[in-house]
């Protein structure tokens, strides 16, 4: 009887872990759609789509609260150790980054409602669209790496974050030139800066999620580490 009881407890524990993981992935899918729609809204001037992104921010916030509560319950009731503890901690940290990605998507959507003719600007069509596509790929890649426990996939996302950072710096230089050549464009250019900043921050959060994949699989906490240090930590697992 004791063995069956232990098996029952273990089975329920595994189900609890699988539940928070699945809920996190569902939240990730919602956030990825939020970013995709926000980028589309700002680059097409679609205010209806922007309104939808803003309305659905509450769903992202509620998902974070719910999953955080589930993680807390597991910690209190199950007192997990080793890799199980890492799973709970990683999920808890990832949902925090997902919620912040949702916040940045809402900021982009708000700019769609506030900025006049931003969708017609050359910089929006080039920098915003291109950076937006890159960070959407990063979110997808980070979530996929988490689902597969794929360290190398996670490292690819970290590398792509460097690419987005370079794109951001290049776009800022272009905007400065744009403002110097036409002072009347300063107001619009500043709004585009805020949009680009939101997209760059989304890339940072996608990187954070990938760092949690490495922590989950290897036990190495690589937050605030360089790309080289992260790659070295991954090699230790091979």
Q: pLDDT, tens digit, for every residue of 199-223? A: 999 999 999 999 999 999 988 888 8
Q: What's the confidence (pLDDT) of residue 217?
A: 92
Specify the CATH number for the domain of residue 162.
Answer: 1.20.58.220
Please give the residue range of the domain that contains residue 36.
2-235
**What is the band of 1 on the pLDDT scale with cuts at 50, 70, 90?**
very low
State the DSSP string of 222-233.
-TT--HHHHHHH
Residues 6+ apart with CB under 8 A from 89: 215
User: Shortest CA distance to 231 belongs to which of 207, 213, 214?
Assistant: 214
Q: What's the confidence (pLDDT) of residue 238?
A: 56
Q: What's the confidence (pLDDT) of residue 122?
A: 60
Domain count, the chain: 1
Does 127 have pLDDT greater than 60? yes
Indicate the average pLDDT of the chain: 88
Residues 6+ apart with CB under 8 A from 61: 99, 102
pTM attached to this predicted model: 0.90
């Amino acid at each position: 009887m004791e063995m069956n009881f232990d098996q029952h407890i273990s089975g329920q524990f595994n189900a609890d872990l699988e539940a928070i993981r699945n809920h996190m992935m569902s939240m990730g899918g919602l956030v990825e759609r939020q970013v995709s729609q926000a980028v589309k809204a700002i680059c097409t001037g679609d205010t209806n789509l922007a309104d939808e992104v803003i309305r659905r921010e509450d769903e992202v916030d509620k998902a974070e609260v719910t999953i955080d509560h589930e993680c807390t319950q597991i910690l209190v009731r199950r007192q997990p150790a080793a890799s199980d503890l890492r799973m709970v901690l990683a999920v808890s940290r990832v949902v925090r980054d997902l919620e912040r990605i949702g916040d940045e998507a809402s900021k982009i959507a708000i700019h769609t409602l506030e900025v006049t003719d931003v969708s017609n600007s050359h910089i929006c069509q080039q920098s915003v669209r291109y950076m937006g596509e890159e960070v959407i790929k990063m979110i997808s890649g980070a979530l996929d790496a988490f689902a597969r426990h794929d360290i190398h996939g996670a490292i690819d996302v970290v590398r792509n974050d460097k690419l987005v950072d370079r794109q951001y710096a290049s776009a800022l230089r272009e905007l400065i030139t744009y403002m110097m050549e036409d002072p009347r464009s300063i107001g619009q250019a500043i709004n585009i800066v805020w949009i680009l900043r939101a997209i760059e921050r989304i890339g940072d959060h996608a990187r954070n999620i990938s760092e949690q994949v490495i922590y989950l699989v290897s036990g190495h906490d690589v937050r605030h580490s360089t790309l080289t240090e992260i790659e070295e930590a991954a090699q230790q697992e091979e």
